[in-house]
Amino acid sequence: MNAHAPQAERPHVIRDAKGKRPQFYEAPGLDQAMSMIMVLANELAVLHDRLDSAERVHAAKGLDLAAEIEALQLDQAALEAREAWRQDFLGRLFYLARKDASEAAAADTAERFRATIEDIAKT
Amino acid sequence: MSAEMLNTFQQIDHPILPKPTHDEASRQEFTKSFKQFIQQGLLPGLGPVFGVRAAKAFEREHGRAPADRRDIRAAMVKDLYFQHYAAANRIAQELLWESTNVTIDRELPDLIEKARGLSASAKGKLDLPEAFETPRYVTSIDIHCMPGGYAGAVTPDDISTGALYDRGVYLYAMGYMGPFNDDMGRSVCNYVNRRLDGFKPKRILDLGCTVGHSTLPYKELFPDAEVWGVDVAAPQVRYAHARAAGLGLEVNFAQMNAEETRFEDGSFDLIVSHILLHETSGKAMPRIFNECHRLLAPGGYMIHADLPPFDNMDPFTQFILDNETWYNNEPFWGAMRETDQVALAKAAGFPPESVKFDTAPMAIMEFVAQQAAGYSEDASAAVSDREFAAGEYAPGGGWEVLIARKA
């Protein structure tokens, strides 16, 4: 997409199809969650293909990238960088657990949230 | 269908087809794989889930077994397995259009200029009237969830939804229609050549031609014939004309409504359509049959290729096919399959003994012979030789044709 031209000014594709989308799941939010999961699956496949392409291009040029990857020895710095990334990634996956724990620690409740809103609204 | 079938089918590039980057192509390929997985991996489970679980739950609730496809639907929509199946289908549909649109959006506005240039060089006519009313059955819902529908246009001379269809339908059909999406037209041409006692059409009309993917085989296989493709949607017609020009086939295109064209009485000897009828309406379908009769010369043939009607199918099969109506923005799909097409043909004036249903086998093995990329012998044979299984693309490896001959 051309980031410089405002959407309305350049020929562009239409994004959404007309016609009410059916709801498939009873649990609220699950339709959105499933579509999000499939978009993620799609991106994972794209990344996989790109790396596969990188290995094939290297092979065509005479470098066995896959074998080099297998033979790669990670030094301490690399081990630390990777572990840090994994822990951060897990933290992001479980961010709502983190939030839930901190609310419990502060004895925070939905009632307190409502009360805060009412209080701030007072003139 | 064999669980080991690896669908490696690839679309062949042509001048006006959008050109994806590496990652865009990968994104699009995933959607094709997802659809293949649903057909091979999830669809077979529907029968057991219904028989063992959903039907029993329905009986407990209603005191009787499910009797028809509506009952079956009422039972199945409560079952999580079916919810996953139906949601997956819908998501795959949405992702395949979206992944294609990314490429097109990147190529705009140049793609429109390219189409203009190709059309300017073409021998085939392009007839776009000043004023044309696109019917509501095409504009009110975006059929099969294609964003913008057939007729959506954002700019004058827009062809975006044509490009979207040309690439998107390849993914939708998982490549079963061949590298040029032309299997339906090719199959009907083969049928005409093999089953109509040497009939050689001289003037051929393809109704609801969209991007001309089914139309072009008629010019290829009947090179001396004058071939016309008509559609109600201007972006499709423009794109079709540019597409044919790029592929070097002289085919004429016009924006017309199959219910009422601008051609003269008796001016064609072969009129065809390919998966058009289920996208029209209860009112339009008889009018289309009448128009076919008017346009045909004596001895001329009308052939409509689509999926089979409901009458000979068991309720569970009907239920699976009917998912298109409810979940894929195909409002006329179910109703069309209950329409008595033979009666419509007779009412239009075709002699009763000339009206029948028949099967035109898919031409997919021809693409193997041509060594088209990805059309392996194994994969193609798996598509070609199939028992009828509802929910599969073109179930049974053939197209149902309704054929009639004018007296």
Residue of B nearest to A53 (CA): B22
Q: Do A13 and B147 lie within an 8 Å CB cutoff?
A: yes
Q: What is the pLDDT of residue A98?
A: 85
CB-closest option in B141, B146, B327 to A22: B327
Confidence of residue B181 (pLDDT cuts 50, 70, 90): very high
Q: Do A42 and B108 lie within an 8 Å CB cutoff?
A: no
Mean pLDDT score, B156-185? 97
pLDDT tens figures, B308-350: 888 878 999 999 988 988 888 888 888 888 899 999 999 999 9
Indicate whether A79 pLDDT > 50.
Answer: yes
Q: Which residue has the higher pLDDT, A115 or B292?
A: B292
CB-closest option in B22, B83, B108 to A12: B108
Question: Would you call A1 an interface residue with chain B, using a CB distance cutoff of 8 Å?
Answer: yes
Instruction: State the nearest Cα–Cα gap between A77 and chain B, in angstroms.
Output: 31
Three-state secondary structure call for residue B359? strand
Indicate whether B1 pLDDT > 50.
Answer: no
Q: Which two tokens stand for residue A119?
A: 């209080």
Angle, alpha carbons A42-A45-A46 (nearest 5°): 90
Q: What is the pLDDT of residue A1?
A: 43
Distances (CA, A) of B130 to B116, B136, B160, B234, B255: 17, 19, 20, 11, 10
Instruction: State the nearest Cα–Cα gap between A82 and chain B, in angstroms.
Output: 25
Token pair 């969209």 is at which residue? B210
Indicate whether B98 pLDDT > 60.
Answer: yes
Burial B181-207 (b: 16+ CB within 10 A, else e): bbbbbbbbbbbbeeeeeeeebebbbbb
Q: What is the pLDDT of residue B334?
A: 84
Provide the phi-psi class of B239: left if phi over 0, else alpha when psi is between -120 and 50, else beta. Answer: alpha
ipTM of the complex, rounded to two decimals: 0.80
CB-closest option in A12, A31, A42 to B105: A12
Q: What is the pLDDT of residue A105?
A: 80
Indicate whether B110 pLDDT > 70.
Answer: yes
Average pLDDT, chain A: 88
pLDDT tens figures, B276-292: 999 999 999 999 999 99
Q: What is the pLDDT of residue B308?
A: 83
Question: Would you call B29 an interface residue with chain A, using a CB distance cutoff of 8 Å?
Answer: yes
Question: Would you call B140 an interface residue with chain A, using a CB distance cutoff of 8 Å?
Answer: yes
Average pLDDT, chain B: 94
Q: What is the pLDDT of residue A6?
A: 54
Mean pLDDT score, B173-179? 96
Out of B3-7, B328-332, B351-355, pick the least confident: B3-7
Question: Would you call B306 an interface residue with chain A, using a CB distance cutoff of 8 Å?
Answer: no
Q: What is the pLDDT of residue B145?
A: 95
CB-closest option in A10, A16, A21 to B108: A10
CA distance A90 to A110: 27
Q: What is the pLDDT of residue B121?
A: 94
Asked whether the beta carbons of B251 and B244 are under 8 A apart, the reply is yes
At position A107, the amino acid (one-letter code) is A
CA distance B313 to B319: 10
Indicate whether A122 pLDDT > 90.
Answer: no
CB-closest option in B29, B31, B105 to A13: B105
Instruction: State the nearest Cα–Cα gap between B89 and chain A, in angstroms.
Output: 11
Cβ-based contacts of A18 with chain B (< 8 Å):
140-142, 149
